[in-house]
Amino acid sequence: MKGLITICSFLLVGILTAYYIGFGFQEQPKPRAIDKELEGLNEKYLLRFSHVVAENTPKGLAASMFAQLVREKTDGWVEVQVFPNAMLYEAQDEFDALMRNDIHIIAPALSEVSVLDRKWLVMDLPYVFQNEQMVEAAFNGRIGELLFESIGDYGLHGIAFWDNGFKQFTNNIRPVVEPEDIKGLSVRVMPSEALVDTYRVLDAKPRLFSFNEVYNVLSTGIVDGTENTLSNIYSKGFYRQQKYMTVSNHNYLGYAVLMNSNFFHTLPVDYQNSIIEAMNEVTMWLREHSKVINDEMLYRIENSGQLEIHYQTESEKKIWRQALKPIYDKYGQIIGDELMKEVIKLQGK
């Protein structure tokens, strides 16, 4: 009898341990209580924020502003240290670094997130958004909710969508007006399946290079062209290495601001709230200013006289949309009905 009780006790402890460790015990880690009077200097929180762009871009400016607001709102108890220009990590390496707690906040392009979670490919469908209002409706509506829910399964906590702007196409070979003009050109793209296939469908040659390699691959002729926002094209000097630009607004470059979920939930609740408050203020600022920043960069590029610029017309856009329909056919299934229905709803408005 005693033996039986011992065996049963072992079994019970084993089952509970397996449940806790192996079968995903879902409880959030407990936040720490704060008593500022009792805390020493070494109790300050240092959050490392890594991103890959220049400081004078929408994301670069927003990250600095966020750091300042968090410092103010927490009386300096939370310090956000910003590392721009991929000083610490390239975009794809940021995810692992975040999970290891080497860094604490990242703001990768939505296309970079799609490598981890294919539902995010929805944001890379060509011409999916016609203007900034549609992008905002996607970020603030059901599409944004579904994307953040989905990325939660990877241990990531989405705290905001940040804007940059619409992407334009640049190259060194010829003006790109019709879809046929892009045939045979080698083009640097971010590592999103939908972006890669967009160029394949057009018989171009998509090539994957990290953001910090773009200037080099353009200037050495390793690729003929690339796509990016006006602020990135200007701040990184890509426009000086290209002859032609098509202002096409064919995709939107936005960012997901992400934290490691476990890390975020172990911060004292007051600090979590301050971080969210600061993030909301910066997100609003960015929404109002990202277009202004990109417009200013267009003005500077136009005045540099470095590029021959073609502004895509509405009737040309129609032809491009038709040429790129196979991307919707293929990726609609991968993205799934729930998100695609929201896209159709948004486009119908």
Q: Which two tokens stand for residue 89?
A: 């990590």
Cα–Cα distance measured from residue 135 to residue 166, given in angstroms and rounded to the nearest whole number: 10
Is 52 a binding residue for ligand SIN by CB under 6 A? The answer is yes
* Minimum CB distance to ligand SIN smaller for 161 or for 271: 161
Cα–Cα distance measured from residue 2 to residue 247, given in angstroms and rounded to the nearest whole number: 81
Tell me how far apart the terminal alpha carbons of the chain are, to the nearest angstrom: 72
- CB nearest ligand SIN: which residue? 211
Is 320 a binding residue for ligand SIN by CB under 6 A? The answer is no
* Minimum CB distance to ligand SIN smaller for 253 or for 279: 253
Work out how close the CB of 294 gets to ligand SIN at its nearest, in angstroms, rounded to a whole number.
12
Strands (E) located in 11-108: 45-50, 78-83, 105-106
How many Cβ atoms from other residues are within 10 Å of residue 122's Cβ?
Answer: 24
* Minimum CB distance to ligand SIN smaller for 109 or for 301: 109
* Minimum CB distance to ligand SIN smaller for 53 or for 137: 53
* Minimum CB distance to ligand SIN smaller for 211 or for 264: 211
* Minimum CB distance to ligand SIN smaller for 52 or for 121: 52
Work out how close the CB of 190 gets to ligand SIN at its nearest, in angstroms, rounded to a whole number.
5
Is 346 a binding residue for ligand SIN by CB under 6 A? The answer is no
Residue list 91-150, contact with ligand SIN (CB under 6 A)? 109
The stretch among 36-44, 51-59, 73-81, 168-176 that binds ligand SIN (CB under 6 A) is 51-59
Single out the residue of 150, 168, 228, 249 in contact with ligand SIN (rule: CB under 6 A): 228
What string marks each residue from 198 to 217 as x (binds ligand SIN by CB under 6 A) or -? -------------x------
Work out how close the CB of 207 gets to ligand SIN at its nearest, in angstroms, rounded to a whole number.
13
Work out how close the CB of 252 gets to ligand SIN at its nearest, in angstroms, rounded to a whole number.
12
Q: Half-sphere exposure (CA, 13 Å, Cβ side) for 207?
A: 18
Is 62 a binding residue for ligand SIN by CB under 6 A? The answer is no
Single out the residue of 47, 48, 50, 53 in contact with ligand SIN (rule: CB under 6 A): 53
* Single-letter amino acid code for the residue at 7: I
Cα–Cα distance measured from residue 89 to residue 57, given in angstroms and rounded to the nearest whole number: 18
- The answer for 348, left when phi > 0, alpha when psi is -120 to 50, beta otherwise, is alpha
Cα–Cα distance measured from residue 213 to residue 112, given in angstroms and rounded to the nearest whole number: 16
Tell me which residue of 86, 94, 160, 146 sits closest to 118, measured CA to CA.
146
Work out how close the CB of 263 gets to ligand SIN at its nearest, in angstroms, rounded to a whole number.
22
Angle at 250 between CA 66 and CA 106, to 5 degrees: 25
Work out how close the CB of 288 gets to ligand SIN at its nearest, in angstroms, rounded to a whole number.
19
Is 286 a binding residue for ligand SIN by CB under 6 A? The answer is no
Single out the residue of 186, 232, 235, 274 in contact with ligand SIN (rule: CB under 6 A): 232
Give every CB contact of residue 5 below 8 A, 6+ residues apart in sequence: none
Which spans in 78-185 are helix H? Answer: 91-99, 110-113, 132-140, 142-152
Work out how close the CB of 111 gets to ligand SIN at its nearest, in angstroms, rounded to a whole number.
8
Q: Could you please report the per-residue DSSP string of 32-46?
A: PP--TTT--GGG-EE
Interface ranges with ligand SIN (CB under 6 A) = 52-53, 59, 109, 164, 190, 211, 228, 232, 253
